[in-house]
Amino acid sequence: MLRPRIIPCLLVRDKGLVKTVKFANEKYVGDPINAVRIFNEKEVDELIVLDIDATVKGVGPDMKMIERLAAECRMPLCYGGGIKTVEQARSIIGLGVEKVALSSAVLANPGLVADIAREIGRQSVVVVLDVKKKLFGGKYEVWTHNAKVNTHKNPIEFARQLEDLGAGEIVLNSIDNDGVMKGYDLGLVEKVRKATTIPMSVVGGAGSLQDLAGLIGKFGIIGAVAGSLFVFKGAYKAVLINYPSTAEKDKLIQEAYPC
């Protein structure tokens, strides 16, 4: 039976684990392999790892690092960063990764979604939409290259197009809420959720388990993704890899979304 998922999201730069605030003010928080080992012990639902260097530097996926991550992971792994071709996606899946996450390459060539879905299966194709609200007018737009390039695409309309092309899942990422830890942009989530029927996960803003519960309570079967919440602890944001226990997670989901 399908159920909501609670998913840590790890950002990697120069093979190190980092965390950002609004896609800037980067802070080094450790070794991603060590983080994966800890999350294994905590029996997380799924793990998203995004290499935020690859697209900006114009390089392809780091296959050696991906192989190490996949070998360590005992949970489903979604990997993104620098994927531009069907061949790269196929190779990553061949290493034991369950899903590939696409972003800038799909914004430039939406047909890539259909090409990759035909090769590896729709269920393994994830598209990450990094979304920011315009300062004036309140409209949302999709950005790429670590929020440096504005595509001027409407995320609601583009999400609908991605579903038609064969995307298996959308990860909706709020640039404005990234690392702020004051809650998700539920208004944005609602707009995109109403436009699509494929699985969706949401990242950007979670600062407490109550934020996760609020997202699940409103949208039901959804991926509640968090970065800072699962790598920091306390008011001073000490680095501490954490995740709710199985009992805490089950209680949170049951109370938020009885099924």
Selecting among 45, 53, 62, 130, the annotated active-site residue is 130
Residue whose structure tokens are 């079967």: 221
Q: Establish whether 14 is a catalytic residue.
A: no
What letter would DSSP give residue 185? Answer: -
CA-atom Rg of the chain in angstroms: 17
Q: Is 124 helix (H, G, I), strand (E, B) or coil?
A: helix
CA distances from 44 to 12, 28, 67, 79, 115 (A): 19, 22, 20, 16, 31
Reported as type and span, the H/E element at residue 131 is: strand 125-133
84 within 8 A of 60, measured Cβ to Cβ? yes
Catalytic positions? 130
